[in-house]
Amino acid sequence: MQKTIKHHNNYLTLTFFLMVAALINGCASGQLGKNNSGEFKNGMVVSAHPEASQVGVDILKKGGNAVDAAVAVQFALAVVYPNAGNIGGGGFMVYRSAAGETNALDFREKAAAAANRDMYLDAAGNPIVDKSLYGHLAAGVPGSVDGMVEAHKKYGKLSWAQVIQPAIDLAEKGFKITKRQAGELNGLHRNFMDFNPLGTAFVNLESTWKENDLLVQNELANTLKLIQQKGRDGFYGGSVADSIVAEMQRGKGLVTKEDLKNYHAVWRKPVVGQYRGYKIITMPPTSSGGIALIQLLQSVEPYPLKKWGHNADSTVQLIVEAERRVYADRATHLGDPDFYAVPQKQLLNAEYNKNRMANFNWAAATPSSSVLAGEIAGKEHEETTHFSIVDREGNAVSITTTLNGSYGSLVVVKGAGFLLNNEMDDFSVKPGAPNMYGLVGGEANAIAPNKRMLSSMTPSIVEKGGKLFMVVGTPGGSTIITSVFQTIINVIDFEMPMQAAVAAKKFHHQWLPDEVYVEKGALDSLAVKTLEAKGYKIVPRGAIGRVDAILKTKWGYYQGGADPRGDDKAIGY
């Protein structure tokens, strides 16, 4: 009898605890799928613009999967976040299905067939800096539309028409611009007028832009409708291709109808690495990001970062020395794998990266001038945007996409209403000459017809124990790799929740120039003094990165990390 009562009591206690747990985890807020910590059960979208995040979640709620939502978000960002969201640019997607299948899609732009190695040099062989940055000649052949067509064809569930429709609505009916966007559009007023004498929706001729003004883009809406009706032919052929080529002729650009017809996104095998028992699935070349990320993780893994602490002087010193070596490798060994034999296997070898750190000295900074790219034995056969998406089944998409600079080349294709990229600047226009991010390169990333320019974009997915753990990525040019790296160690080593890991202040080193860029408040004054005494040149700078990420908690809920450095927003359901 005693025993029965005891069991009964245990049962009551258990029921009580289960009820409390249910309250905490699901029902208390009264919103299905959400718990009191603001975490969501059914899916989540984190992107640079609230309207785009909402589009993605609406697609998920309609029964779309993560890829359907990603395609919808990519097109929506082309409307509501024209700084970097695009159909005239390119990007990379890393995908992981709920069952653990992984894939990577390279929809990076390509150099036109008429491009050549010296196209941005003057008669004396010196780079003409603005030539690869602004105007028609700065544009590569756009990859985003073909990329989205390919992603949807392979993994999409909803119809193509359904996933494009929200972007058409936003372009046609207009959307309310944020305060930040109003400021940017006003700031670029003159430039848009200069590069687009025939007019563009981004120019407000009546007054200045203000927060909540409606931005309507009718020409873009028509282009999106053609893409909706005809798929890739709606962009790479017909009237849109005519408009692109006419625009090129007006501004002496190189992209031809043949270039457009020949553009195809490429499925590639993701780069995979291990870090403290976690599996990192990330982007292979044409991005340098994935390889560099794994190299950084391997370089610091032998050291007790957790014991030293987040942004402690030892932690910063070690990471800077790892970054110095990895970016030296990037400058020499990374380029379009269809044109250059990237020594991927050796760069991803843990022993190689450990050896690269062997000559690092705790007493003093290693001057970058003394660090060359690692010896490879033989040959082997500032504006981008990132979004992270998970769906109800647990499929995950990590996409980083860009026009390169903010609003790309500043050229809007007349009649078609979208901005052209200025991605050609990501090539090494001359060996050793820095690009807009201060990155240098050589033969591996020299310009050649139909070649893809090297990128730093690092869309990534992390697994723990064979299950989805994190979806992560960021814009930021050369700082992309180090921001993704720091976000990952912030969670794994420093045990931060997703939002804190994203918001945490960051720092960056890239071999050349030999300076450590530090976000305001990232390091305390003692750490700065200690590092300066060892010869590190600490340079304060503004925001580093704009990470949008999702973490899956051990309770199976999705935690969003939307970067407070922008208008970014995590929406779950």
Can residue 86 be called a binding residue for ligand DON (CB under 6 A)? Answer: no
Could you give the C-alpha distances from 568 to 23, 81, 95, 188, in angstroms and in order?
29, 11, 21, 22
CB of 92 to ligand DON, least distance (A): 9
For ligand DON, the closer of residues 227 and 420 by Cβ is 420
Q: Is 384 a catalytic residue?
A: yes
For ligand DON, the closer of residues 135 and 476 by Cβ is 476
Bridge partners (DSSP) of residue 278 are 275, 464
DSSP letter for 337, please. T
Stretch touching ligand DON by CB under 6 A, among 49-57, 201-209, 243-251, 475-483: 475-483
The catalytic position among 200, 315, 384, 487 is 384
Give me 203's structure tokens.
């120019």
Give me 36's structure tokens.
């009191």
CB of 294 to ligand DON, least distance (A): 17
For ligand DON, the closer of residues 138 and 570 by Cβ is 138
Stretch touching ligand DON by CB under 6 A, among 38-46, 235-243, 360-368, 379-387: 379-387
Can residue 477 be called a binding residue for ligand DON (CB under 6 A)? Answer: yes
For ligand DON, the closer of residues 156 and 405 by Cβ is 405
For ligand DON, the closer of residues 219 and 336 by Cβ is 336
Among 39, 247, 383, 493, binds ligand DON (CB under 6 A): 383
Which residues 387-446 are close enough to bind ligand DON by CB under 6 A? 402, 404, 423, 426
**Helices H / strands E in the chain, number of each:** 19, 18
Q: Which residue, 148, 176, 38, is CA-closest to 387?
A: 148
Can residue 475 be called a binding residue for ligand DON (CB under 6 A)? Answer: yes
The secondary structure of 51-81 as a DSSP string is HHHHHHHHHHHTT--HHHHHHHHHHHHHHH-
Decide: 418 and 79 in contact? Cβ < 8 Å: no
Stretch touching ligand DON by CB under 6 A, among 117-125, 315-323, 453-461, 528-536: 453-461
Can residue 326 be called a binding residue for ligand DON (CB under 6 A)? Answer: no
Can residue 140 be called a binding residue for ligand DON (CB under 6 A)? Answer: no
Give me 546's structure tokens.
């704009």
Can residue 460 be called a binding residue for ligand DON (CB under 6 A)? Answer: no
Stretch touching ligand DON by CB under 6 A, among 179-187, 297-305, 325-333, 471-479: 471-479
Can residue 382 be called a binding residue for ligand DON (CB under 6 A)? Answer: yes
CB of 76 to ligand DON, least distance (A): 19
For ligand DON, the closer of residues 235 and 437 by Cβ is 437
Can residue 456 be called a binding residue for ligand DON (CB under 6 A)? Answer: yes
Instruction: State the number of binding residues for ligand DON (CB under 6 A).
Output: 14
Bridge partners (DSSP) of residue 389 are 45, 397
Q: For residue 7, which amino acid is it? A: H
For ligand DON, the closer of residues 112 and 439 by Cβ is 439
Stretch touching ligand DON by CB under 6 A, among 208-216, 258-266, 472-480, 532-540: 472-480
CB of 402 to ligand DON, least distance (A): 5
For ligand DON, the closer of residues 456 and 510 by Cβ is 456
CB of 119 to ligand DON, least distance (A): 18
Give me 49's structure tokens.
């613009």
Distance CA 222, CA 167 (A): 11
Distance CA 522, CA 504 (A): 8
CB of 22 to ligand DON, least distance (A): 43
Quick count: other Cβ atoms within 10 Å of Cβ 25? Answer: 18
CB-based burial of residue 269 (10 Å sphere; 0-12 exposed, 13-18 middle, 19+ buried)? exposed
Can residue 58 be called a binding residue for ligand DON (CB under 6 A)? Answer: no
Strand 102-107, strand 266-268: pairing: antiparallel
Among 182, 265, 371, 480, binds ligand DON (CB under 6 A): 480
Stretch touching ligand DON by CB under 6 A, among 193-201, 270-278, 344-352, 473-481: 473-481
CB-based burial of residue 298 (10 Å sphere; 0-12 exposed, 13-18 middle, 19+ buried)? buried
Nearest-5° Cα angle at 452, 446 to 458: 105
Q: Which residue, 172, 144, 160, is CA-closest to 86?
A: 144
Long-range CB pairs of 401-404, under 8 A, 24+ apart, other chains included:
401/74, 401/77, 401/84, 401/85, 401/86, 401/89, 401/90, 401/91, 401/92, 401/144, 402/84, 402/86, 402/89, 402/90, 402/91, 402/457, 402/475, 403/83, 403/84, 403/86, 403/88, 403/89, 404/89, 404/436
Which residues form the interface with ligand DON (CB under 6 A)? 382-384, 402, 404, 423, 426, 455-457, 475-477, 480
Active site residues: 384
